[in-house]
Every structure is written in C-alpha cells, then in structure tokens.
Amino acid sequence: MSLQVTRTRVGKYELGRTLGEGTFAKVKFARNVETGNNVAIKILDKEKVLRHKMIGQIKREISTMKLIKHPNVIQMHEVMASKTKIYIVMEFVTGGELFDKIVNHGRLKEDEARKYFQQLINAVDYCHSRGVYHRDLKPENLLLDSSGVLKVSDFGLSALAQQVRGDGLLHTTCGTPNYVAPEVINDKGYDGAKADLWSCGVILFVLMAGYLPFEESNLMSLYKRIFKADFTCPSWFSSSAKKLIKRILDPNPKTRVTIAEVIENEWFKKGYKPPVFETADVSLDDVDDVFNESGEPGNLVVERREERPVMMNAFELISTSQGLNLGSLFEKQMGVVKRETRFASKKPAKEILSKIEEAAGPLGFDVQKRNYKMKLLAAKAGRKGQLSVATEVFEVAPSLFMVELRKAGGDTLEFHKFYKSLSTGLKDIVWKSEVNMNEPSSESNKQETG
C-alpha cells in the first residue's frame, strides 16, 4: 500500500516531513530542487503573528539572525513569504541532538563534555555580543552536524513572544522548567545573558552526570530546589569542574559568574580553540521584501501542491535516525526533554491509526483525522493549556511504516505521561526489529536526563 501524500513546493523548495512544531511555527525538512541541498524551513503563520502584534519584533529577530554567521549557530539562509505564511530557510544538520549521545551511550567523559560546552559558550557569547539572547536553551536546541560540531538552533527565534519592558529586563517565563534560571521563574525581570548562562550550566552538568541537577515530579518542589540551587555534583566530577558549575548555578544573578569569567576559567581553557570564521557580507533585502507593508505581489512565493503516491525518501528516513543506527528510529525517549517519539509497525496504516484512536479515547482525548495524519486533543486543559499530539504515518518500505507522535501544544512532561499510558495499548502493532531486540527496552534505556 502506498500513501497518498501531498507534496508542497514553495519557490525552489520542496517541503517534506515536519521536524517540529510550536505555538507560532512549524519546522519542515525541505530540499532545494535547483541545487539538491537539504534545508529546514521554519513556517510562521502571518495571521497569528499579526494578531499578537509581533511583526516588528520578528523582523528585528530575523534581520539579526541573518547577520549572525558563526560555526556553532544554525545558519539562516533566506526569508520568503506567501499571502498567509512567512518561511525562514535554515541550515539542516544531520547528526541529531547532542543529548541522543547520552541516551544511547550514557554520560560523557569530562574532556568530551568540556569540548561541547566550549562550543556552546562560543555560540552564546557571540550572539549576546550581537544583542541576541536565546532564553530557552535546552537539549532539543543543541544539534550536531555530520562532523560532530555543536550547532545551537532557534537562537533569537525561540522566544518570539518575549518583550523587554522599560526596566531593560525580560519578563516572560518560558523554557523547560529544569533548565530555567530562578530569576526567570520568579518573574521579576531578568538579564537574558545571565539566564542563558544558567541554562548552559545545567546542560554541562547533564553532559557529565547523565542526569539533571534539579529533578522533581512535583513542579513546586522543583522550583524550590532551583531557587536554593539545591544540587550535588557526583563524585566523578573533577574539583575544578565542580567549582565552575557551582559558580554558574548561583541562584543570585548578581553574584553569578559571567560568560567572560567562564572563558578565563582554567577548567574551561583546557584544550580550548577559539572559533575561526569569516564575517561575510549579508543582504537583508529578502527580509525587507517579506515585511514590506505594501506586500507587493512580486515579492510573494506561491505554495503549489501536487498529490502523488510517495514513500519517505532514504535521506529523510536517515535524518530521523541517529548516525545511521536505525535502531533509534524505534522507540527512543528522554524523559521531559523530547517533544516527539516514534515507532515502526508492519500493520496496515489504517489499522495503526485506528489502534491509536482506540487507545487515546479512554485517556480523554478527542481525535481529528485527515488522510494519514491525526490530531489528538486533550479534553481538559493541562499545566500549559490543552495537550495536543500530532500523529503521522510514513511508508518506509512496502509493508513497513514509521509512526511519529509529536507534541503540537501543551506541556512536554504531560506528553510523556500520555505517551507512556498510550503505548501500553499499542504493544501488538509495534514492530520489534532485530536491532530493537538486541537493545535494552525503552524503559531500561531511559536516562534520568529529563
């Protein structure tokens, strides 16, 4: 059976599978049909952007991001618009998330963790020097290219709805709770640079420990621990690493170490290679065209759809996997940090979707179906509004399907609780490959890395 999939062309790009989605945007895999190069395209809904009065802010963020060319930051190539959408074309990296390394192999040795931390600090420091703050540094935003070089994604685009008030401080609480600085949770305003550094400190701890410094199932208990910086470094951390982490995870932003001081730290400097890169001339003409008030038709691209039976191509399939290990296509989870999960099945696509619908009903979810896609919507609002789960079935080979469940809205932790409950009802449709059978089960393989 082959699935009828609608392929969409936008300008010279053919859009493929959805890589992720959030409140304001969706990110899709795409291919430049002229060059054959693969890219990721962030698609913003113009109406939502206008409704939230975010045009000026998004234009500033995009202009700044286009000017940022750094080896450790995902590169933005160009910006386009149709009548209803804004398309941000970005570099697509194939090495997966840095934290997949921890899921698959456990914690990193100190030297390897330091190497990634140095690259992370390079990226963050450079963007801060350009007035751009990430404000949501977390595992999903740390990617690796094919050579294993760290790339920070979503810099300056992760917090589109953020506002700086008259006091020069940011005031919106965001981010994954475990990685967020205490002053952000406190909502009394915060310095974006200090808050980003705190998140870098949590990331360094996780790389070296294999688990989070602050982990509680109860949110208030978690906040209390973060406010007091109540954590203990494992015995295998060197004393100089412990000292640096304690200086970064200082709950008082006024006494917290600065990025400049981190770069001068002896532990940080070991084997440090400052990044080498050239600043190229960048044109912002495409950004100006997209945000041109008159919206001249000549500047707009058109979405063209064509329907044909198509299988997920090999590159897209590999891009969902960690370094060609197809075992990681099958169930991989990481506590609260993953926004999606996937499994393979040899059952017919319609049977897979019916089974998911059947399992989701008793958990209090409404189901909306269209073609081989399905949206599950929680009847009750959760901690961050209604949990919404996008489900899609891809044909990988004749009679082998990949099923992806992705959080489209709501809280990531609630998504994981839902998936855990749902998966018990899906056992008989999940295909266990030989790769899978030789690996630990998802439960035993699951790190405490949240």
Tokens of 196: 């980003």
The residue that leads in pLDDT, 314 or 23, is: 23
Which residue matches tokens 């035993």? 444
What are the binding residues for ATP?
42
Q: Which of 125, 136, 154, 411 is catalytic?
A: 136
First to last CA, the chain: 38
Binding residues: 42
Percent of the chain with pLDDT over 70: 75
Three state DSSP letters for 28-71: EEEEECCCCCEEEEEEEEHHHHHHCCCHHHHHHHHHHHHHCCCC
pLDDT in tens, 90-145: 888 888 888 888 878 889 999 999 999 999 999 999 988 888 888 778 877 899 98
Question: Which is more confidently placed, 113 or 11?
Answer: 113
For the record, the structure tokens of 280 come out as: 């190229």
289 flagged as catalytic: no
- Residues 138 and 337 sit within 8 Å (Cβ to Cβ): yes
The residue with greater pLDDT, 25 or 120, is 120
Q: How far is CA 309 from the centre of its chain?
A: 30
Q: At what angle do helices 192-209 and 98-105 cross, to 10 degrees?
A: 20
Torsion of CA 400, 32, 371, 345, to 10 degrees: 20
| CA 71/CA 356 separation, integer angstroms | 42
**What are the structural domains of the chain?**
4-93 (3.30.200.20), 98-269 (1.10.510.10), 314-445 (3.30.310.80)
In a 3-state reduction of DSSP, which class is residue 351? helix
Phi, psi of 289 (to 5 degrees): -60, -45
Tell me what the mean pLDDT of segment 400-424 comes to. Answer: 83
Question: What letter would DSSP give residue 440?
Answer: P
Reduce the DSSP state of residue 64 to 3 states and report it.
Answer: helix
261 pLDDT band, cuts 50/70/90, is very high
Mean pLDDT, the chain, as a whole number? 77
Check whether 435 has a pLDDT greater than 60: no
Q: Which residues pair with 30 in a beta bridge?
A: 15, 39
CA distances from 326 to 150, 330, 344, 427, 447 (A): 22, 7, 10, 20, 20
